[in-house]
């Protein structure tokens, strides 16, 4: 990697270099202000770092100091992280110490603890609970994690949980607190939660967005057999790859800055011509020509690979939308 390469690194890679250059204690103080998804992405980036030279680290640090000098704060947000990503990035011993520091400094509730666990482990925790408890837990978690958890249940249980999620609106504080207390005793947490609005058709639709496409089609058909209106409501709220056509050019450009080249190529292999043109017009002429060449040179790919890549891009779009950086669903809303 040259000096020019260092200057052109993605923001994620720069964050990984910065954290790897910090001491363990300082890194822990930064990570504890991040959510599970952010730490997962940074952990993956750290795991992929190789042959970073001293002058390249200095380039990243110089840029960071300039950026911080122009701001009054870093705008750090929610707590939490993904244990396995840190272990992959830093190794078992170093990650273990870092995990301990973050946990001791966090303000974790029993329900929040589930966000740090592997999906299979969460499924095992709730497997023998009442279906309504399962639905509450699934509704509380982020949609992508919830979708992974559902994949660990059989078709009948998945259907039951999604139907219950869609019908949820509010949960009595006492009931939610009791569930939280049970989980806190199991995971040694000690704080309460105030969340009472949970679930609903939109939550169900968000979860469906992350479910594997083959399972999604089967599950949607089962929901339709039970309640056709509910299935239609969920379908209307689901955001699929073709919906990116409704995103304005500024939003598409923001998404493209976050997408790896190979992911974009695979996603566009299965996209209609209008979607491909939407992407081309939001790139430089040279970049668009290179992408077209790559698409033509790419041989046949499995539909499952295309679907995975499209879902990855959709996840980026939702994250940017959640952060207020783009607007999904058209350009009617102005950004300031």
The answer to whether 136 touches 171, Cβ cutoff 8 Å, is yes
* Euclidean distance between CA atoms 64 and 53, whole angstroms: 17
Adjacent-strand bridge partners of 197: 170
Domain boundaries defined on the chain? 3-105, 110-236, 241-322
The answer to whether 147 touches 207, Cβ cutoff 8 Å, is yes
Burial class (CB in 10 A: 0-12, 13-18, 19+), 156: exposed
Tens of pLDDT, residues 260-276: 888 999 999 888 889 99
pLDDT at 189 over 50: no
What is the pLDDT, as a whole number, of residue 141?
86
Mean pLDDT of 176-182: 75
* Euclidean distance between CA atoms 249 and 121, whole angstroms: 41
What fold, for 241-322?
Answer: Annexin V; domain 1 (1.10.220)
Stretch among 54-68, 134-148, 153-167, 192-206 having the lowest mean pLDDT = 192-206
The whole-model pTM stands at: 0.48
Stretch among 40-44, 77-81, 176-180, 234-238 having the lowest mean pLDDT = 77-81
CA angle 107, 112, 116 (to 5 degrees): 105
The answer to whether 307 touches 213, Cβ cutoff 8 Å, is yes
pLDDT at 81 over 60: no
Instruction: Return the higher-pLDDT residue of 321 and 196.
Output: 321
What is the pLDDT, as a whole number, of residue 104?
42
pLDDT at 281 over 90: yes
Tens of pLDDT, residues 105-148: 444 556 777 777 778 888 888 888 888 888 888 888 888 888 99
Please determine whether the domains at 110-236 and 241-322 fall in the same fold group of CATH: yes
Three-state SS at 284: coil
Mean pLDDT of the chain: 75
C-alpha 104 chain-centroid distance: 25
* Euclidean distance between CA atoms 288 and 281, whole angstroms: 8
Stretch among 207-211, 245-249, 278-282 having the lowest mean pLDDT = 207-211
pLDDT at 190 over 50: no
What fold, for 110-236?
Answer: Annexin V; domain 1 (1.10.220)
Instruction: Return the higher-pLDDT residue of 287 and 169.
Output: 287
Among the ranges 140-149, 194-203, 208-217, 316-325, which has the highest mean pLDDT value? 140-149
């Amino acid at each position: 990697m040259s000096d020019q390469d260092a200057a052109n690194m993605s923001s994620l890679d720069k964050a990984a270099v910065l954290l790897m250059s910090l001491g363990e204690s300082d890194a822990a103080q930064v990570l504890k202000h991040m959510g599970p998804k952010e730490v997962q992405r940074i952990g993956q980036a750290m795991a992929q770092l190789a042959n970073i030279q001293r002058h390249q680290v200095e380039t990243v640090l110089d840029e960071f100091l300039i950026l911080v000098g122009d701001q009054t704060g870093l705008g750090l947000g929610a707590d939490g992280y993904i244990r396995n990503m840190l272990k992959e990035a830093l190794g078992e011993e170093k990650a273990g110490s870092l995990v301990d520091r973050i946990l001791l400094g966090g303000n974790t509730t029993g329900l929040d603890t589930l966000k740090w666990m592997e999906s299979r482990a969460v499924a095992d925790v709730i497997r023998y609970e009442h279906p309504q408890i399962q639905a509450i837990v699934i509704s509380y978690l982020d949609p992508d994690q919830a979708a992974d958890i559902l994949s660990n249940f059989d078709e009948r249980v998945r259907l039951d949980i999604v139907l219950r999620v869609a019908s949820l609106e509010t949960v009595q504080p006492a009931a939610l607190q009791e569930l939280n207390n049970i989980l806190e005793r199991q995971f040694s947490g000690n704080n309460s939660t105030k969340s009472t609005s949970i679930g609903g058709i939109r939550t169900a639709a968000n979860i469906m967005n992350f479910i594997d496409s083959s399972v999604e089609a089967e599950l949607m058909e089962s929901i339709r057999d039970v309640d056709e209106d509910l299935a239609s409501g969920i379908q209307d709220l689901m955001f699929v790859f073709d919906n990116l056509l409704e995103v304005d050019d500024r939003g598409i450009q923001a998404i493209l800055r976050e997408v790896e080249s190979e992911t974009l190529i695979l996603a566009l292999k299965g996209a209609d011509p209008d979607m491909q043109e939407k992407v081309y017009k939001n790139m430089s002429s040279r970049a668009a020509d290179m992408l077209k060449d790559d698409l033509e040179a790419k041989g046949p790919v499995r539909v499952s690979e295309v679907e995975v890549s499209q879902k990855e891009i959709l996840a980026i779009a939702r994250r940017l939308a959640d952060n207020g950086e783009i607007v999904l669903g058209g350009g009617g809303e102005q950004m300031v």
